Structure formats: C-alpha cells, structure tokens
Structure 1
C-alpha cells in the first residue's frame, strides 16, 4: 500500500513541480494568437471549452495501454510502479506537452510535419507513412477489443461481429463530422464512465479491505514467470507503453492544439492529461496484484481466466458489485473507443496535411477517409496478438522520433534541451534492443541486442551534436 500511495503522491506532485519547470523552459505565451482563431474552419479548427479539450485529450490518449498494458507490465514486478511514475513525469508528459505546444506554434501542424521540420525532409516522408500506419493500426486494434468486451455483456445476438460493425460505423462518423458535433458531445458521457471506473477502483484500493503486495522490499528483480526469455529491460518498458510514454499521444496533441483557446492552457491539457493517464495505469497495476494476491498469482489468474479482459471483468464486478462493475467495465470500454475514433480522425488530418488538401466539405473529407477506412478493415483481418505486439513497438518508436525532434527544436531556440534529450536516448535504447531481441523482431542474443542499442543511442547523440555544431544553433544546454 505504501508504494502505491507514494507513487500516487509523486505523480500529482510531478504535475505541479516538474510540469511547471517544463512550462517555464518552453515559455508559454498567453497573448499568442491561437490556431483555433487564426484558421477557424468549423470542422477541425474551432475554439472549444477548456474542460472539453482536456477531456477529449485524456480520452484520446487513454486507450487500453494504461489498463491492459499496466496489468501486463506489473507482472515484471515493482519496477513497473517506478516506470509508470517516473516515465510519466520525465518522459511521457514532457513528450505530450511539448509536442502540443510546438503544434500550436505551427498552426496546429500534424506530427509528421513537426518532426520533418526538425529532422529533415527524408524523415518527414518516413514519418508520414509511419504515423498513418500507426493510426490505422490503432483504429483496427481498438475496434476489436471493445467489441469483444461489450459482446460479453449483451444478449447473444449482439455478438462481437455486431459490435465490430457498430463501432466501425461510429468511428467513420467521428472521423467525418465536425469535432464539436459527435466527439464534443459524446465524450462527456465516456469521460464520466472512465472517471467512475478510476475513482471506484482507487477507492477500494485505499479504503477497502485489500492489501497491495508490491514486494518492493525484496528488490526490483523480474517477477515474470518467463523472466529468462522476457527480460525486464526492454520488455516492461514496451509492455506498459501508454501508461508512461506513448508516441501515439503526439499524433493526438495537434488535434487539440487546433481547439485550445490560450497557450497558457497547454500544461493543464497536455501535461495534465498524461499525468491522469499515469494515475489510471497505477490504479490498474495495483489492482491487479491486490486482487490476485501477488505476482505469481497474477500470472496464474491470467492464464486461467481469459487473460487481462477476464481479470478486468472480475475486479470490476467483485469490488464494485453488479451495477458498479458494469459501469466500471463501460469505463474500460470507453478508453479504447475514444482512442480509436480519434486515431482515424488523426489519420485523415495527417493525410490532408501531407496533400495540402482542404477539409471544409464532407465530400473532401470522404476523399481522404475512404481509403483509410478500407485499410483499417483489411488490417482487422490480421491476428490480434500479432497486431498488438507490433502496435506496442511502433508506438514507442514514434515516441523516439518525436523526442529527438523536440530536442532539436529546443536546441535551435536556445532552450534547455536536456529535458527531452535524456528520455530520447533512453527510449532509443528501449526500442532498438526490443526489435533486435524480441521473438517478433530479429531474435538476436540479449547481450548483442543491448550492445547494439547502446551504439545506436551513441550514434543518435553524435548526430545531434554534429548537427548543432555545424549549424551553430546553440552554445550550451542552458542558453
């Protein structure tokens, strides 16, 4: 219990202390003319109430990662709690906040345009393809999972196929309609469900008759039953993903950068939403071991009761009763749905930015969206387990590109670039070692994978130093 409460307090404190420091480094300007006014089009660029912007941003980024990912990640042991807390404060929230601010300053530019402006035209083209692929992958993954969850709570004729079709139709409408019509009106309902889920489970953890056997006094060693083949580094850092840092978030920040009414609101919206997601991840990580009784028991429960979905269902019903449990499960369902819909909307915006294709009319939005819908449907036919593994790696790799782009931006503007350079180096090692070592990757030996990942990070650092030296953009990190 102590580890959970301390972690919760540090997360909240991180928003007020480190978040304020990051805000001062980037220098938010309250008098800046915002894209929602300068480019208002009634579809994607429009001022929205701050509470709606925050809620949309939070629901956009809080997919299955902070729930399913946190449960899978905590199997590696108490190190998961530390990564959720410090990863959120020093990496994920900084990544989301600064990518959102830079998008504001580039008139709501999408992520590939931001990264390309800092890392070059070649990287821009790569990021356009990579980002679009990830958005479609997210859309496909987050149709299948909520459909299965809802099918388990509804009559037999409303099976997973029925819900796949229903969710897909909703995603198409959310992609095409002006942001204030469907997303702006339905997200408060989803937000209420997600909030009830988080508060309900956390209340049981703190005030209920449960113990959280975190085991931190025994050390941070790997508790996974497959520790020999699934080392804590880098596997845990990819498994938790959205609960600490996620490249997908930087694709969502520009969407809200087009609706935010003042730059001084960027920290509450972007940094704050990531801290809120870290809290959700912390809650579910603690709930998983508290409910099952320990790390070994958690592994056994997952293998015997239908994996993470079975555990989420069992925790919700057992701790909150039938009615409360259903509401909690609806909160879990809301998380992927409110990520999948905006993933496809982001795909439309990325493609439209790339083609410089105006999106005011629904016909023009259909021209861009129909191929995206078709590709999403095709990808849905691939085995879910394969989709999820590659989604996790692609997600973290996108974070690497974003962190390096923001680092170059900070350096060019004579700001404290160590804020993002250190997380960029760390995540470069994580992603490189994962793809080299993992079974779905190149299956290299572990020691070779680690060595090559360190060399890759060193090469990235050398590139950064050389770029800054020859362009003569900076003199020191503290300029």
Structure 2
C-alpha cells in the first residue's frame, strides 16, 4: 500500500466520523447551549475560565497529544501495519473519541468535577475514593516518566532546552495580552506565533548545554529534573490563563505544523509501505491480543484523556456545543497523528525496524527520522526537518507534563473532600479543618511533586513504566463504566458505551495479567503495582456490575 493513499483515506474517514457519529453523540447526550457551563457559574479566574473554542482546542489537543500517539504506533510496528491501522481507525472513532466526549460532558454537567463524582452518584463514597486513588497513582506515574523524558531530551538536544524555556517566557505575555483584551485572539496569534518559531531558531544559536557547564551528565540530569518539578509546582497553581492555557495554545501550532509538514511530506514522497501487513513471527496471543491494545493507547483510546477532559478542559468550556470539536475532534486529530506515525515507520522493512528496536533507538527519533526523510521531497534538508519534528515532540511532552501535574492536584483535592450530601449542590474543591489544609492547592501540588521526584531519582518510574499502558487502558474502562452507569440511570441508549467498556476491561486486565507473569520475580515494583491495580479494578467492576443489575431490576 502507498502511504499517501493511507493518509487520504484516514482524513476522509475521520472527517465522516466527526460529522455523523459526532452528531449521534450530541443527540444521545443532549447537548444544550442554553445550560450555563461551570466556566461561567463557578468562574474564579484560576481554574474556571470561559475560553474561546480555538484556544481551548489548542490547550486540550496539546495536553492529550504527548508522546503516546507517536511512540505507540512505532512500537506496534513489530506486529505489522494492519493490526495497528485497524485498532487506531476503529478504536479512535468508536471507543477513544466517544470516551473523551462522554468524560467531558459528564464533567461539565457535574460542575467541572472529575468522573469520580459520577462514580460516587452510582457507587457511593467508597467507589469514588477508590477511583480517585487509581487516578492519582496513574498521574504520579505520568509526571514521573514525562519529567525524566523531558530532562533526557534537554540533555541530548540542548537547543530544545533553550527553545522550551523561551516558549515558557513568551506564553504569559500572550496570556496577559489576550486575557486582558489588549489584543484580540487573532492579533495575538499573528504576533506570538511567529515569535514561537523565532524561539526555535534562537535555540539552535544559544543551546543550553548543562553537561558542559556542570561537568557531568548525572549532575545536569538531576538539575533538569529538579527544575522541571519546580516549574510544574508553579504552573499547577497559577491561574490557567496566565501560563498553561496560552503556552498550550501556542504549542498547538507546533503540532499543527508538524502534522501538516508530515502529511505534505507523505504526499510528496509517496513512500510505499514496506512493512508486512502482519508480521510473520507476530504472536496473536499474547502479542496482538492483548499487548497491541495497550501498546497503542493515545491515538486509539487513552484513560489519561478522561482526566484532561474532566479536569482542566471541562472547567474552561464556554458552551456545551464546544464539547464536540474539543473532545471528539481533538481525539480524531490525535488519531490522524497516530496514522502519520505508522507511515513514518511503515516505509522501513521489518529487518530495519527490528534492528532499531534491538539498538534501543527511541521511538520518537524513529518517527522524526521518518518524517525528516519525507521532508526531503519538499526540498527541506533532512537535518532541518528531523530537528523540527524532534523539538515539536519535546514541546508537547512538556505540555502533557504540566497538565498532568495540575490534574493530579485536582485529584488530590477531591480525594480529601468528604462525601457529597446532595449531588445537585456540588461546588469546587473546598473543605473545612484539616481537609482544608490538605486540599490547599500548594500542599496538594507539593505532595504530587515530591512523590514524582522520589520516583524519578530512584529509577522506580522506569521500572513501572511497562504497566502504565495497561493501567491507562484500565482507567479508560473505568471511565466507560461511569458513562454506562449514567446512561443506564438516565434511560439513554447504553449499548454504544457498554460494548467498548467490556472490550477495554477484558483487554486491560488480560494485559496486566500477562505483564505480571512476565515480570514475576524480576521487578518487585511492577509486580506490586500490577496486583494492586487488578484488585482495585476488580472491586470497582464488582460494585459497578452490582449497581447496574440492581437498577435494571428496579
């Protein structure tokens, strides 16, 4: 198959899904622009901020599109291109994007709170607390691993460090200028987007090479980890419109440029897919089933997206009709990025792919090299194209990092709250006495940062990382459980959510069991985490099934 045809068909398919299946979801959930959103009713200028749809789309897309939609499809090349293509196209439209849409809708209808409060309405306070603990553990893992990934990218490519710091510097200027109505969104974009690309050029001129300055890679890595965690601490507590929102919006232009450049390169180069449709030595079990489905998470279905959708984004939705382009459209765009990742590795033969994996070449670099070669057909030098792609990847990993920290702060604050007396009287995270102290946004963020820092310096994050893919999909299954319970209670159609719930639950638990067997006696942290996740999932599924049966009988 020619990669250009693959991209054409993907664009048409995702566009049709947005129009037709998106319209179906709007009808089923009852999107109503006459209902005021939490960004208006609970506006506080910090977390609850009404936001124009293009800005929120940029923030949301940049937050969910971390390394996942690139790394997953590249790693899945070992199974052949067809299993990855089928999972991305089917999973993204009917599971992942629907999951994101539903999560954001439920949060908007529940005062901008997380899916945990929907679970409390269905399963009680204990169910909510178990779900929040699961979310917090997953987010600490995200913060840990993304911190080390960004630190390592700063070390390997010092120009990326310079450009990233400059991005952080210009973002508040854009936020103040647009937020205070000094400039319109269009005027601000015309001024600051070119500055964004100027920062890229300045990074190549003034690279920050801390290894040379501090004398050792270990010292430089420790400095970057501490710096990044301190940055996350500050970024998580200051008003969202000052740094997080404008930086994500500006960084989204890097993502758009990367996707457009990549697609244009594919059309110009028209590379043939050299990978076999299905690898001759690929094991169906436990290879494709279940490991493919946890190897490719972002780009098909990701539980982390539910935390973004119901954490920061739902608090900024201006109108309910914006849920479709932001949540559903954002996930479809990520699916397109995942298809681009397949093309970036698909033109290689299986022997080359296996050699790269054996040499432990990072998946991000394989992706950047592939698009760099495609860009040569556009008369862009390979080094220029590859370096730009690598910088864009690092930029949105950093975006996902500070978003994950803010989300972990929200989860921590909700975890210390008492049970709600009346679901109709929910308010933002607030409590009395010791709960008020523990729920303070500085204390909550500090707790998350300290836990992530301990793991980052101990190396535990790298050991536990293999189980994150399975835990991420298990989180998606638990979110779909909440969606299914809500649909059943409100007498809406339920099958379109129930079938994905069953599939994701089986796949994620199966994958955890496989990983547990593979790591038994090798990695104690991974074994412990896998067992705890299985126990937690079992309890929540039992409670959910019991609630579903009881309400249907009633």
| TM-score tier (shorter) | 0.7 to 0.9
Mapping 1:305-320, distance limit 5 Å: 306-320=361-375
Aligned position for 2:283: 227
Q: TM-score, normalised by structure 1?
A: 0.88
Which residue, out of 453, 458, 468, partners 2:551?
468
Structure 1: how far apart are the matches of 2:223 and 2:391?
A: 17
**Which of 56, 61, 67 in structure 1 is aligned with 2:59?**
56
Distance 1:225 1:64 in 2: 27
Match of 1:124 among 107, 119, 128: 128
Alignment RMSD (CA, Å): 2.7
For the pair 1:396 / 2:399, whether they are aligned, the reply is no
Give, in whole Å, the separation in 1 of the partners of 2:309 and 2:151.
26
Aligned residue among 44, 47, 58 for 2:47: 44
Q: 2:32 aligns with which of 29, 47, 52?
A: 29
Structure 1 CA distance for aligned equivalents of residues 442 and 354 of structure 2: 45
Q: How does 1:154-169 map to 2 (within 5 A)?
A: 154=158, 155=209, 156-157=211-212, 159-169=220-230
CA gap of 1:460–1:111, structure 2 versus 1, over 3 A, is: closer
Give a deviation string over 1:12-59, Cα, whole Å, max 9, x none.
221111111111111100100110111111111111121111111111
Which of 371, 389, 392 is the equivalent residue of 2:447?
371
C-alpha separation in 1, matches of 2:9 and 2:276: 14
Distance change >3 Å, CA 302–CA 197, structure 1 → 2: farther
Q: CA 1:225–1:306 in 2, change beyond 3 Å: closer, same or farther?
A: farther
**1-structure distance, mates of 2:38, 2:542:** 37
- The answer to whether the aligner puts 1:72 opposite 2:75 as a matched pair is yes
Deviation at 1:251, TM superposition (A): 0.8
Matched residues in 1 for 2:57 and 2:126: separation? 33
Q: 2:497 aligns to what?
A: 420
Residue 265 in structure 1 maps to residue 287 in structure 2? no
Distance across 2 between alignment mates of 1:178 and 1:303:
45
Structure 2 Cα separation of the partners of residues 24 and 278 of structure 1: 23
Task: Tell me if structure 2 keeps the 8 A contact 1:352–1:368.
Answer: yes
TM-score of the two chains, using structure 2 as the length reference: 0.76
SS across alignment from 1:393: helix
SS in 2 for 1:414: coil
Q: Work out whether residues 123 and 544 of structure 2, in 8 Å CA contact, stay in contact via their aligned partners in 1.
A: no
Instruction: State the Cα distance separating 1:442 from its structure 2 match.
Output: 7.8
CA contact (8 A) 1:115 1:401 kept: no
Q: Which moved more, 1:325-334 or 1:201-210?
A: 201-210
Deviation of 1:232 after TM superposition, in Å, equals: 0.5
Residue of structure 2 aligned with 1:339, choices 391, 400, 413: 400
**1:280 aligns to 2:341 (yes or no):** no
> Which residue of the partner structure matches residue 153 of structure 1?
157
Distance 1:367 1:63, change over 3 A: same
Q: CA deviation at 1:388?
A: 1.9
Contact 2:22 2:324 in 1 (8 A): yes
Task: Report the Cα distance in structure 2 between the residues aligned to 1:404 and 1:366, rounded to whole angstroms.
Answer: 32
The aligned residue for residue 307 of structure 2 is: 251
Aligned equivalents of 1:265, 1:197: Cα separation in 2: 25
1:359-389 CA-to-partner distances (Å, cap 9, x unmatched) read 999x932122111111110121224542321
* Per-residue deviation, 1:153: 1.6
Secondary structure in 2 aligned to 1:241? coil
Whole-angstrom CA distance in 2 between matches of 1:430 and 1:295: 26
Q: Which residue of 2 aligns with 1:329?
A: 390
Query: Cα distance, 1:358 vs. partner?
Result: 3.6
Gaps of 5+ in 2: 159-208, 214-219, 376-381, 418-428, 521-533
Note the C-alpha offset of 1:9. 2.2
Q: Secondary structure at the match of 1:31?
A: coil
Shift of 1:298: 1.4
Which of 488, 495, 499 lines up with 1:411 in the alignment? 488
In the TM superposition, what is the alpha-carbon distance from 1:201 to its structure 2 partner? 1.7
The structure whose Rg is larger is 2
CA distance in 1, matches of 2:478, 2:249: 32
- Cα gap change, 1:257/1:224 in structure 2, threshold over 3 Å: closer, same or farther? farther
Contact 2:144 2:461 in 1 (8 A): no
Structure-to-structure mapping, 1:128-143, within 5 angstroms: 128-143=132-147
1:305 Cα deviation from its structure 2 partner: 5.8
Deviation at 1:287, TM superposition (A): 0.9
Shift, 1:7, TM fit: 3.0
Unaligned runs of 5+ residues in structure 1 are 444-451, 473-479
Query: In 2, are the aligned partners of 1:87 and 1:245 still within 8 Å (CA)?
Result: yes
Q: Distance in 2 between matches of 1:313 and 1:281?
A: 13
Shift of 1:66: 0.3
Secondary structure in 1 matching 2:440: helix
**8 Å contact from structure 1 (residues 35, 258) kept in 2:** yes
Q: 1:90 to 1:209 in 2, by over 3 A?
A: closer
User: 1: distance between equivalents of 2:148 and 2:509?
Assistant: 28
Deviations 1:230-251 (A, max 9, x none): 4200000000011111111111
